[in-house]
Amino acid sequence: MNRIIIAEDEPRIAAFVEKGLRSHGFTTVTAGDAMSAIDMVIGADFDLLILDLGLPGKDGIEVLEEIRGQGAGIPVIILTARDDIQDKVAGFEAGADDYMTKPFRFEELLVRIKARLRNIKSAQTQEENLLSIGDVVLDLRSRKVKVRGETIELPAREFTLAETFFRHPGQVMSREQLLDRVWGYDYDPGSNIVDVYVGYLRKKLGSKLIETVRGMGYRLRK
């Protein structure tokens, strides 16, 4: 369930937005002034901020600049009576993701909120498909590897071996573990196939990326 902050000092508007969002399954809290909004964004885990520019205490643009300055990546939709193009430009330059002017229709606000939340989910899904160590990135969806920005295609076994290492950075993996995870039971435990394929990866991904731990196996450097 998505959690939304409504930073609005006009009780009637805040109550209207809050009622509408809750009826669509969102959890909401209201901040009636600038400092409350900043504290909520920085101090808790929320999914989106609806920000009025005319808050008591600080201008909404200053609020936005402060939360962005503190590293908060929360999506922000400005909802304000200011319809001047200069205010819109200032809002986007300060880090807003969207800008709506009052009076407004709730249905449009709802559509914009859902669009921003979808963008977050899509970005998170994309990040989950990437594994990286240093300048080497594995894309689990395309099954390709980038080394210093250059795309390299690995055969299936090599990619699976690389993925196994990248999912356990810094962990010593024995030859038996690697045989089991990459080849299953198709190979003799006494085979040197793991050593051969580690050699392939070193040539393609970097000679120092995978280190040998004498008597134990191999480890991907963090």
Rounded CA separation 71/139 (Å)? 27
- Are both 86 and 193 inside the same structural domain? no
Q: How far is CA 130 from the centre of its chain?
A: 11
For residue 156, pLDDT over 80 is answered with yes
Residues 123 and 150 in one domain: no
Q: Output the pTM of the full model.
A: 0.59
Q: Which of 128, 153, 176 is the last residue of a domain?
A: 128
Same domain, 137 and 188: yes
Q: Does pLDDT of 52 surpass 80?
A: yes
* Region of 108 on the Ramachandran plot (φ > 0 left; ψ -120 to 50 alpha; else beta): alpha
> How many domains, the chain?
2
DSSP H helices in 79-216: 85-94, 106-128, 156-166, 175-178, 193-205
- Shared domain for 17 and 118, answered yes or no, is yes
Domain with 210, as residue range(s), is: 130-220
Segment 123-137, tens digit of pLDDT: 555 556 788 888 899
Residues 112 and 137 grouped into a single domain:
no
pLDDT > 70? residue 45: yes
Q: Residue 213 — pLDDT band, cuts 50, 70, 90?
A: very high
User: In this structure, are 22 and 95 located in the same domain?
Assistant: yes
- What percentage of the chain reaches a pLDDT higher than 90? 55
Q: Which of 128, 155, 188 is the last residue of a domain?
A: 128
**Cα distance between the two ends of the chain:** 35
In 3D space, the residue among 80, 26, 29, 72 whose CA is nearest the CA of residue 51 turns out to be 80
